[in-house]
Amino acid sequence: MHIACAVLALTLAFTLLGQVPANLFMLMFFLNLVTVGLGVVLHELAHKFVAIRYGAFARFIAWPAGLALMIIMAAMHFPLLIAAPGAVYIFTPLGKKEYGIVSVAGPLTNIALSLIFAAAMFPVAALTSAMPGISTYLMLLLASGAQINAWLAVFNMLPIPPLDGSKVLPWDGKVYAGVIVFALLLVFIIVPLLAGSAQLLFG
């Protein structure tokens, strides 16, 4: 229930933030639902499986105030969306290192998904001439997936409790810096560059 609420709220927020025309709203909502759903669910599964490896129990709990704030900011078209739908809580005592590893697993999963979505734009863009309609929708889906997952990694790595970054930073500052810097590069440089290159080569 908590994950479902977070997925729907994030999907609505990212769709509103995109300021798409009314006739395309449901299409973009569906595309974002796929990418957000995949990103959030795999993020939480990564936490869960790594926690299990250490004999711990982890669970995602939605933050209603954060969900509401996120949707309001998106509806008002704030240039920067605070994507804070909730956080994973670990209910078993762990050492600082284990706690940090469990926490960083989620953002690393989003980074991996962002790269996969971005890389997939090249073969899909190559199909533009053969299947222009399908290729266009797939490109929208992949671009959405790459950008949204990169943003999810960035916001989850903020060093603010109870976000993942607040547990990773005390464990290892170098790991923290590496993950958040790479996530920021994904958002502002790598994903836009790959998307533009795919369109330029095959568009």
Q: Kindly name the residue from 16, 31, 44, 151 that is annotated as catalytic.
A: 44
* Angstrom distance (rounded) from CA 57 to CA 50: 10
Run of H or E including 83: none
Length of the chain: 203
Run of H or E including 27: helix 25-53
Run of H or E including 61: strand 58-62
CB 31 within 8 A of CB 141: yes
Active site residue 98: no
Q: Which two tokens stand for residue 174?
A: 């170098």
CB 156 within 8 A of CB 107: yes
Q: Which two tokens stand for residue 76?
A: 């008002």
Catalytic positions are 44
